[in-house]
Structures are given as C-alpha cells and as structure tokens.
Structure 1
Amino acid sequence: MLERETPPIGTMSAQIGQHLGTRIVSGEFTPGDLLPVENDLCQFYGVSRTTIREAVKTLAAKRLVDVSPKVGTRVLPFADWNLLDRDVLSWRLNAQFDSKIVEDIFEMRFCFEPRASFLAAREGTAEDYGLIEHHFQALASSYGPDGSPEAASQADLEFHLAVINASHNGLFVTIGTALKSALRVSSRLIQRESTQPIADLDLHEAVWTAISRREPQQAAGAMEKLLHAARARVLPFTVGPDP
C-alpha cells in the first residue's frame, strides 16, 4: 500500500508532477506500467483530483505517460519521451546520473558544439565576442584566490552557452537551452574536481582565441578538444547503467 508523501517545492501540481516524473525516469514505473489510480494518488499525496489531473496532464505533455479513460495512465516507451524537455532531463540527471546518460549528453554535444563554435567564428558579432570573453575572464578569475568551484562551474556553463548563442543558429540555441541542466551538472563536477586549472583555461582560451580571430576550423577543433577533456573528467564520477 502507498505511504503518503508530500513533495517539497513549487505549486502542488508541479511538485507531484516532479515526484511522479522522477519515479518514472528512475525506473520505479517502467514503460507499459499503469500508474496508481486517481483515488490512490489523491490519498498518497493528500490532494484533490484536480491537482492529480493537472500533474498527470503535465507528464502527458512531456510524453512520459498516455492517459486513456478505459485503460488508465500508462507509462510510454522510452523512445516516446521528450528527452530534451528541461524537466525530463533534470529528473533523469538527479535520479540516475550514470555513465550512459553522460555518454549520451556528450555525444550530442560533440554533434553540435564544435559546429556552433565554427559558426560563432564566422557569424558572431562584436557583442557576442564580448560576452564570450567576459565569461572566459570570469572562469579565469574563479581559479584565483577569491574564486570557488561554484563560480567556476557557473562561468564554464555561461561560456559554453555564449558560444552556442553566438552561432546564431536557432536550433542550436534551443538545444543549448534544453541541455542547460546537463551542462550545469557536468560543469559542477568538472570544476569541483579540478586539479589542473591552467590546463582548463588553456582549452577554453583556445576556443575563445579561434572564435575572436574568426578562424572557424580552428574554433571547431578547439571545442572538440575541450569536450573530450570534459568528458574524461566527468565519467569517473558516474556509475555504470543498471543492467
């Protein structure tokens, strides 16, 4: 029998949507499973039918579940999930930060961030370059005596997003925004365990230098090297996916 539990943040329907979504992406409910019936969920969370329906409606919009009056609320196959949805990605990272999801994220980043760097070098404006330089300098400062891993991770995140935005490719910008949670988590891990700040800065500086000199090929290559180094730093802190 379900034990009552109240999620911690946001509006009540958002809290319940987050909690149910996390239970789904963590594997507690697997594709094909039916969620508990509405009455049981109302009792479990201590809320009204309207609140439960709003939460389930949110999950359905993210393609995690399908609602059928005759069948109930069924968890959809993994292939149907909206994996670029900010909430779905965040729930997966928090519930199951394993080597598979890290590899998936970096494979995607390899597909578009070097090209975004290429485009930033070719299409970027003076304002774009000013932002990229600003975040690079913030990263450099974060390694100083008054810096911190938190400041470094934020500067690293903003540096990558500024490069993506400078590409002026709307789809890249959208993907970058969707991946913001993943970028934040990986940046935090990288900077928390950073033992070679000078090497980190050299890799970032190579990207910035190539972009500012409008050297597209060099910018793409420099970003690829930076991503390889970042992946190598993050993977040791993950676990293997469940068999």
Structure 2
Amino acid sequence: MAGESVMLERELLPVGTMSAQVANHIGVRIVSGEFLPGTSLPIESELCQTYGVSRTTIREAVKSLAGKRLIEVSPKVGTRVLPFAEWNLLDRDVLAWRLQAQFDQKIVEDIFEMRLCFEPRASFLAARDGTAEDFGKIEHYFHELVAAYEQKLPIKATSESALGFHLAVINASHNGLFVTIGSAVKSALRVSSELLQQHAAQPNEDIALHDAVRTAILARRPSEAADAMTRLLAASRERMLPLTVDAAE
C-alpha cells in the first residue's frame, strides 16, 4: 500500500466527505499494522499525492484521527502513530476499522468479553427497573426477529432485529454508562450480528435463547434475565469463533 496512489472519488464531494474517506483509509492502515505505533505517517505533501486531495483535506483527516487517539501531531516529530493502549477503542470508526482489518480470534474474544461484562447486568437492571415502554420495545424487536427467521428475510434484516433487541435491553437498564457503551459499540454489535446470522444453522435455538432473556425481563426476574443473557452471549461466541479461522484461510 505504501507509495501506491489512491485516487479517491472527488466529483461533487465536499471537503468534509473527502476527509472522512481519507481518514477511513489511513485508519485501516494504522489498525492493520501497516503504520506501526511510534512511527510517523508520510508527510503532508506525500499524502496529498497518494490520495489525490488537497492539503486542507489531509489536515481534516489527520485532525479526525488525532481525535480518535490513533495519532499525535507534534511540531517536532510530525504525525506519529500512538501506542495501542492510547487508542479510543470505543470509537465507532476505530471499532469498524479493527473489524475490517483484524477479524481474528483476539478481536472476537475482546468483543464478547466486553459484552459479558455489561450485557448480563444490563439485563438484570432491565428486569428490575425497566418501564412498560422499555418492555414494549424489547417485545417489538423479539417478534421482529422471529418474523425475520420465519419469513427467511435477508441476513441484514435479521441481524438488525437482533441488534435492536440487544440495544433495547441495554437501554432498558437505565444505566447511563451502559447506554453510552451500547451506542459506542453499535458497529461491533452490528458486524457480530450479521456474521452470526450468516451462520445461523439453528434458528430455533437462537430464538429460544432470545426468548429466555425476553421472558425473564418481562416477568421481572433479574437474576434469571442475567443468566439468560450470559447463555445467549456464550452461545453466540461459540458460533463466531470458528468464523475467524475461515476468515484467516
């Protein structure tokens, strides 16, 4: 990729749109390891030539990446890639880039370890503190998921229903931090959901696992809801891990 000219589509696109495209491209190159932590990005003029854009566009892209803590801009050392520990890993773009560039066992483990840390507790709180409106949304997405399976709708529709169900449970927790995390990791949840639906060999089992969560929450049985969500996530994790082997081959 280094030294390769990447002419981006510019017709009728404003600088902001172009800078986002450049930031996306450079972001993937960073998280994939092409630009290692501690090294410097190519100089501004070289990036302009590589992407076929103006200095203003490059500066906007660099500003965006700096805001995500992928890089640091210093007058003395230029634009330097920051260590992994400093990256804003909950940023939706950074998550999407990691999934695009590094879909391997490690990132799948990371995603499900994170989800297991807060989604069972969110289910507990949803059962304890959820409102009738919250329960209505959980019901809505559950029945939407069932209908998607029964009608054999496209994978994207099924995965969006599953995503809506999980976010409805998280929102029903009324824990502001959980809701913020759920919104931040939506891209990771969406990709996870789509991949799982592509390999949903046993739709009835998936429906049953979601139904157990729904039933416990609506019955206001917090501990059962937490346990049901743990079982759902564990089953999803076991279905997804083999996919990382397929992706690597």
TM range (shorter): over 0.9
Which of 56, 66, 72 matches 2:72?
Answer: 66
| 1:2 correspondence with 2:3 | yes
Specify the alignment match of 1:94 in structure 2: 100
- Contact kept? 2:8, 2:52, Cα under 8 Å: no
Which of 62, 79, 88 matches 2:85?
Answer: 79
Which of 218, 232, 237 matches 1:226?
Answer: 232
Name the CA distance, whole Å, in 1 between partners of 2:175 and 2:55: 43
Name the CA distance, whole Å, in 2 between partners of 1:125 and 1:34: 51
Name the CA distance, whole Å, in 1 between partners of 2:80 and 2:52: 22
Name the CA distance, whole Å, in 1 between partners of 2:180 and 2:205: 30
Equivalent positions of 1:111-190 (< 5 A) are 111-190=117-196
Equivalent positions of 1:3-82 (< 5 A) are 3-7=4-8, 11-82=17-88
- Contact kept? 2:5, 2:49, Cα under 8 Å: yes
TM-score, normalization by structure 2: 0.93
- Report the residue type matching 1:3 in the other structure: E
Specify the alignment match of 2:208 in structure 1: 202
- Report the residue type matching 2:40 in the other structure: L
Name the SS of the counterpart of 1:143 in structure 2.
helix
Q: 1:7 to 1:19 in 2, by over 3 A?
A: farther
- Contact kept? 2:127, 2:219, Cα under 8 Å: yes
Name the CA distance, whole Å, in 2 between partners of 1:241 and 1:84: 23
Give unpaired runs (5+ residues) of structure 2: none
Name the CA distance, whole Å, in 2 between partners of 1:148 and 1:22: 28
Please provide the CA RMSD for this pair: 1.7
Superposition deviation, residue 96 in structure 1: 1.2
Q: How many residues align?
A: 242
* Range 39-48 or range 27-36, more displaced: 39-48
- Contact kept? 1:21, 1:91, Cα under 8 Å: yes
Q: What fraction of aligned residue pairs are identical, expressed as a percent?
A: 67
- Report the residue type matching 2:18 in the other structure: M
- Report the residue type matching 1:212 in the other structure: L
